């Protein structure tokens, strides 16, 4: 018998010789040997295949199959009740349905089909516990706790806790879990009951252990005052990592150790926190910059100009209170200062009295006195404090001389100017100057709430709690050194060092997360709490059906 190659060669020769009959015969024989040629699918067939393979369609077909599982189970007692003992058995019915699904376009191996099938089974059995609970409530009205356990799949029982509550939850979970899984397939009932009964016990044990571990790491709960100050820091744009929100030795050691981990991001976290604090400080004197030194220099020009404008455009009324207040400053200075130190203060009081002889002080004259008092107040001698007090007397008289609107605006300027003077003593020199966090945290005799809350934030959160020392740091540095040494002889050391770096970065990210901050403060996120409140009961009801399969 000729082969396909021989027939093809003969066809070519017959065609070349013009022998049409032989060519047709050879071609027919070749087609016969090759078998029928598959027809090219039409556009309609291609579109149909595309639609049938789509995720929504396969999920829908899977849902039909899942519902059929429950239907097959329900048919078994119906068959028995009707005495139809010779009809198809439950396993045979399920096998017949499985065989029929591909005929209507189902792809049982696809993920979408499986998801639809499981989803339908879970949805179809979700009400089993509720139905059982209604039956129990009707028969035993006093068993409300057990009815709750049935309805929730063991998520909750009656009020309170204790062993009795947990036992009721486990029993309710076992019964409802077995019933739900058995409704999908009677063969799953036993496993479903085991899963449903075990879940409440396991979940409670894990929860208790997690709370204990969290409490040990977190330390004592944050007080209401600390929580309020942390919320204020957040409003001011200062992001505090979780370890600084509570005074916990384990967290302090972990966070401090991250400074020794390359690429952990801890240095950037602390730099950002300091920068945000500096920016908040600059806003207290009318600027918005993390470079406090440069901001102070700008503020001195801006606020000094505002003082000059206000004083030059208004007169200061020389009233009795101004005279009484100036006299009090002089008397205190006379008691506390020597003759030479008293002279600058006495001279400026004389200047006030002379310029106010007509009942008011000209704006320019008042401005000149204020500038002189500023200069004396920046000195290091004892007279500096008294000069500042005398300037407050002059500014108070100006406030009383202004209208309500102008007085409110000038009060803001004075507050900012006072903040500026306080911070000038704390700021470091240089083009990238910042305020010393330690000195801010230790500020005393603060005269306004803005500055006080920032000093409190610096002391409570920003100032480091643990120095760059300790066992945790030595452990890491020793391990890192060993890893580097090992790296010279192979890739193992580099892998260990890389793992430490990755772990350090992950730890730092966790400490900066909202979840960790909330956990440290003992607060919760309402959105997450709501989602869990909805998801957990559903998990208890779905778990037996999912796991028993």
* Per-residue exposure over 458-486, b if at least 16 CB sit within 10 Å of its own CB, e if not: bbbbbeebbeeeeebbeebeeebeebeeb
CA-to-CA distance for 135 and 140, rounded, in angstroms?
A: 8
pLDDT of residue 476: 45
Please check whether residue 398 is in contact with residue 314, taking contact to mean a CB–CB distance below 8 angstroms: yes
Residue 227 lies in a domain: no
Q: Is 356 found in the same domain as 440?
A: yes
pLDDT of residue 429: 65
| Last-in-domain residue among 462, 491, 508 | 462
Give Cα 158 distance to the centre of its chain.
34
Question: How many structural domains compose the chain?
Answer: 5
pLDDT tens-digit profile of 31-88? 777 666 556 666 566 555 655 677 888 888 888 888 888 888 888 777 666 666 555 6
pLDDT tens-digit profile of 298-331? 888 898 888 788 877 888 899 999 999 999 999 9
pLDDT of residue 386: 92
Residue 231 lies in a domain: no
Q: Which of 388, 315, 383, 297 is nearest to 343 (CA)?
A: 383
Residue 102 lies in a domain: yes
| Last-in-domain residue among 462, 484, 519 | 462
Q: Is 433 found in the same domain as 352?
A: yes
Q: What are phi and psi of 316, to 5 degrees?
A: -105, 120
DSSP annotation string for 196-252: HHHHHHHHHHHHHHHHHHHHHHH-SPPPHHHHHHHHHHHHTT----HHHHS--HHHH
CA-to-CA distance for 325 and 314, rounded, in angstroms?
A: 21
Give me the torsion for CA of 376, 380, 384, 388, rounded to 10°: 90
Please check whether residue 143 is in contact with residue 89, taking contact to mean a CB–CB distance below 8 angstroms: no
77: domain range?
43-125
| Last-in-domain residue among 93, 125, 157 | 125
Residue 522 lies in a domain: yes
pLDDT of residue 236: 92
pLDDT of residue 486: 42
CA-to-CA distance for 264 and 500, rounded, in angstroms?
A: 9
Residue 53, SS3? coil
Residue 82 lies in a domain: yes
* Per-residue exposure over 41-66, b if at least 16 CB sit within 10 Å of its own CB, e if not: eeeeeeeeeeeeeeeebbbbbbbbbb
Q: Is 541 found in the same domain as 472?
A: yes
CA-to-CA distance for 357 and 353, rounded, in angstroms?
A: 6
Q: Is 382 found in the same domain as 421?
A: yes
- Please list the ranges in the chain whose pLDDT falls under 70: 1, 4, 7, 11-12, 15-16, 23, 34-52, 79-88, 158-161, 206-219, 428-433, 465-500, 524-533
pLDDT of residue 481: 41
Q: What are phi and psi of 267, to 5 degrees?
A: -60, -40
Please check whether residue 341 is in contact with residue 412, taking contact to mean a CB–CB distance below 8 angstroms: no
| pTM for the structure as a whole | 0.55
Q: Which of 519, 497, 547, 443 is nearest to 210 (CA)?
A: 519
Q: Is 14 found in the same domain as 104?
A: no
Those residues with Cβ within 8 angstroms of residue 385's Cβ, 6 or more apart along the chain or in another chain:
377
């Amino acid at each position: 018998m000729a082969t396909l190659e021989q027939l093809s060669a003969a066809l070519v020769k017959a065609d070349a010789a013009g022998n049409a009959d032989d060519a047709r015969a050879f071609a027919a024989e070749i087609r016969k040997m090759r078998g029928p040629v598959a027809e090219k699918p039409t556009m309609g067939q291609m579109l149909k295949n595309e639609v049938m393979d789509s995720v929504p369609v396969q999920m829908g077909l899977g849902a039909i199959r899942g519902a059929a599982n429950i239907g097959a189970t329900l048919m078994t007692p119906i068959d028995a009740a009707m005495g139809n003992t010779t009809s198809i058995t439950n396993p045979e019915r399920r096998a017949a349905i499985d065989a029929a699904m591909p005929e209507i376009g189902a792809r049982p191996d696809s993920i979408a089909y499986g998801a639809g099938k499981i989803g339908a089974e879970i949805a179809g059995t979700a009400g089993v516990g509720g139905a059982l609970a209604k039956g129990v409530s009707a028969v035993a009205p006093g068993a409300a706790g057990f009815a709750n356990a049935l309805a929730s799949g063991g998520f909750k029982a009656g009020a309170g806790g204790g062993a009795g509550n947990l036992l009721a939850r486990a029993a309710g979970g076992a019964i409802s879990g077995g019933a739900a899984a058995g409704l999908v397939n009677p063969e799953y009932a036993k496993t479903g009951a085991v899963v449903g009964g075990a879940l409440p016990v396991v979940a409670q044990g894990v929860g208790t252990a997690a709370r204990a571990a969290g409490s040990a790491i977190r330390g004592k709960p944050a007080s209401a005052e600390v929580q309020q100050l942390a919320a204020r820091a957040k409003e001011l744009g200062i992001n505090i990592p979780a370890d600084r929100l509570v005074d916990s030795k384990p967290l302090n050691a972990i966070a401090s150790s991250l400074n020794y981990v390359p690429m952990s991001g801890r240095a950037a976290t602390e730099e950002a926190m300091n920068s945000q604090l500096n920016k908040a400080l600059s806003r207290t004197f009318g600027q918005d910059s993390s470079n406090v030194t440069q901001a102070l220099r700008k503020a001195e020009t801006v606020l000094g100009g505002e003082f000059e404008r206000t004083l030059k455009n208004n007169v200061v009324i020389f009233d009795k209170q101004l005279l009484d207040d100036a006299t009090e400053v002089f008397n205190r200075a006379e008691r506390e200062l020597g003759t030479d130190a008293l002279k600058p203060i006495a001279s400026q009081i004389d200047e006030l009295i002379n310029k106010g002889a007509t009942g008011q002080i000209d704006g320019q004259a008042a401005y000149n006195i204020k500038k002189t008092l500023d200069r004396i107040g920046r000195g290091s001698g004892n007279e500096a404090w008294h000069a500042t007090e005398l300037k407050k007397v002059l500014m108070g008289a100006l406030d009383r001389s202004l209208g309500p609107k102008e007085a409110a605006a000038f009060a803001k300027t004075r507050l900012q100017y006072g903040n500026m003077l306080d911070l000038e003593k704390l700021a470091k020199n240089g083009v990238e100057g910042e305020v010393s966090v330690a000195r801010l945290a230790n500020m005393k005799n603060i005269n306004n709430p803005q500055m006080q809350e920032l000093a409190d934030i610096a002391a409570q959160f920003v100032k480091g709690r643990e120095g760059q020392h300790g066992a945790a740091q030595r452990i890491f540095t020793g391990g890192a050194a060993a890893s580097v040494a090992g790296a010279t002889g192979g890739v193992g050391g580099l892998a260990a060092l890389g793992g430490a770096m990755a772990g350090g970065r992950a730890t730092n990210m966790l400490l900066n997360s909202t979840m960790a901050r909330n956990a440290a403060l003992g607060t919760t996120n309402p959105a997450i709490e709501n989602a869990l409140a909805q998801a957990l009961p559903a998990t208890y009801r779905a778990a037996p059906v999912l796991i028993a399969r």
